[in-house]
Amino acid sequence: MTTCPNVLHISQLQCDDFERAVLPMARHLVLSLTQPEHHCWHRAFVIAVEQWDESVGLSVAYHLQKLVRALLHCRTEGLTFQDPLCIDDKHTVTRDEWLLIGMIHNMRRDQTPEARDCVYQITRGRMDPVVIRTALQFATRFSCGVGGAIRQTAAAPVLRVVQ
């Protein structure tokens, strides 16, 4: 079983640009779901649209929100995430953040034993089926393409003038 210290530098994450971009959104979503008065979910969606445009970004934020919600439901003691608005915490990652990104990273690459290990640790041994199903749906929808890019499932619609 892989272990991680309580806090490490973000450069130590073994992840691609997509997974690195998911982290600030996850932080905002955790804050929003644990302290709703902050309304940070809005910022997570804005970050996603700025990163990938509306066609992909809104979908990323929506599906990530489902995953974070499932994790929070499973982990009654909550998740330890950095404050998304703190400049000092921007470059460090908590153990729970590392496990979330590790779970996504391994699922996107079909690395089952490593993904199972991350799920086991982040769910505190509960192996919650909702967390697993939601994480797999996220990983499948945004699986790795060449160089770890998001695989687009459909081309954008094209408007044509018909006479």
Which pair of tokens denotes residue 52?
């990938």
Residue for token digits 């954008």? 156
Query: Which residues form the domain of 59?
Result: 13-144
In the prediction, which pLDDT does 147 show?
A: 39
Phi-psi region of 13 (alpha: psi -120 to 50; beta: other; left: phi over 0): beta
Cβ–Cβ under 8 Å, residues 33 and 12: no
Residue 12 pLDDT level (bands cut at 50, 70, 90): confident
pTM, two decimals, is 0.84
Digit-coded pLDDT (tens) for 86-125: 998 888 999 999 999 999 999 999 999 999 999 999 999 9
Q: Is residue 2 part of a domain?
A: no
Q: Is residue 156 part of a domain?
A: no
In the prediction, which pLDDT does 11 show?
A: 81
Q: Is residue 31 part of a domain?
A: yes
Q: Is residue 50 part of a domain?
A: yes
Q: Is the dihedral of CA 46, 71, 20, 58 positive or negative?
A: negative
Q: Is residue 59 part of a domain?
A: yes
In whole angstroms, give the CA distance from residue 57 to residue 75: 27
Q: Is residue 55 part of a domain?
A: yes
Residue 151 pLDDT level (bands cut at 50, 70, 90): very low
Q: Is residue 78 part of a domain?
A: yes
Q: Is residue 155 part of a domain?
A: no
Residue 20 pLDDT level (bands cut at 50, 70, 90): very high
Domains in the chain, number:
1
Torsion of CA 53, 42, 75, 52, to 10 degrees: 10
